[in-house]
Amino acid sequence: MMMYLLYILIGLLIVLGVNLAITAFWAVHDMYVHRDREDQDLTTFKKYFVKNNNIPTKMSDIFN
């Protein structure tokens, strides 16, 4: 029984890790594409990361 919970937890961590890696990739890609219009800094990365993220970052986003 305990091994099943461990497998589920590891699976969720893998899914979340891959999602964050893909989201970060697309955020960097968007920063590169729009580099002539915007500064290359952390706030620009955050803007595109939030735009590309498909997992809610706040509990209130789940219920909207």
pLDDT tens for 13-47 read 999 889 889 989 999 999 999 888 888 888 888 88
| 63 in a structural domain | no
Mean pLDDT of the chain: 84
C-alpha span between 20 and 64 (Å, rounded): 22
| 44 in a structural domain | yes
Segments forming the whole domain that contains residue 13 = 1-53
Tell the burial category of 53 from Cβ atoms under 10 Å away from its Cβ (0-12, 13-18, 19+): middle
Q: What percent of the chain has pLDDT over 70?
A: 86
Count other Cβ atoms within 10 Å, centred on residue 35.
Answer: 11
Over 80: is that where the pLDDT of 60 sits? no
Whether the CB-CB separation of 16 and 54 falls below 8 Å is answered with no
| 38 in a structural domain | yes
| 61 in a structural domain | no
Domain count along the chain: 1
Which alpha helices (H) appear in 1-64, and where do they start and end? 2-33, 42-52, 59-62
| 62 in a structural domain | no
Please tell me which residue, 6 or 41, carries the higher pLDDT value.
Answer: 6
| 60 in a structural domain | no
